[in-house]
Structure 1
Amino acid sequence: MYSRKKIQEDIPEVITKIWSCQSEDCNGWMRANFSFDHTPTCVLCQSPMTSEERMLPLIVNMNDHVKLSAVVTTAE
């Protein structure tokens, strides 16, 4: 029998560094390699964020080298 459903491949999960909102009322978080600041503030409630780790699906940030080159040029 023919099935039209696509076979979904398993996306590997890895331990990922994230920034998590410190506010009790907010569930905001972001991946560390997608943030532009060394210590970002929450975009939802503007509270400070702390560094944590979570098991998340693997996502590669293709613009990571752009962020690193911007840091190098501003440091010179």
Structure 2
Amino acid sequence: MSKPDLSPVPIWRCKDKECKAWMREELATSPSPECPLCKGGMVKSIKHLPKLVNKKSRKKS
């Protein structure tokens, strides 16, 4: 199995160094979300991730 192509993706990550929570910016529910695990603040960052595939928009041939 080959490794997926990674690209820089904007994310929100928890400010707390002990908390490992993060989410893709495009999937955040608000412009400045709170951490879903510890309810703390989050900051914008970048993470290298595989591209998301929207299965609903695919057309069957």
TM-score bin (small chain):
0.7 to 0.9
Write 1 or 2 for the structure with the bigger share of strand.
2
Quick one: which amino acid aligns to residue 39 of structure 1? Answer: S
Q: What runs of 5+ residues in structure 1 fail to find an aligned partner?
A: 1-7, 64-76
Q: Which amino acid aligns with 2:40?
A: S
Q: Is the 8 A contact 1:15 1:54 kept in 2?
A: yes
User: What is the deviation of 1:9?
Assistant: 4.3
Offset at 1:24?
A: 2.1
Q: Which has the higher contact order (CA 8 A, sep 6+)?
A: 2
Structure-2-length-normalised TM-score: 0.78
Over the matched positions of the two proteins, sequence identity in percent amounts to 29
Alignment TM-score, normalising by the size of structure 1: 0.64
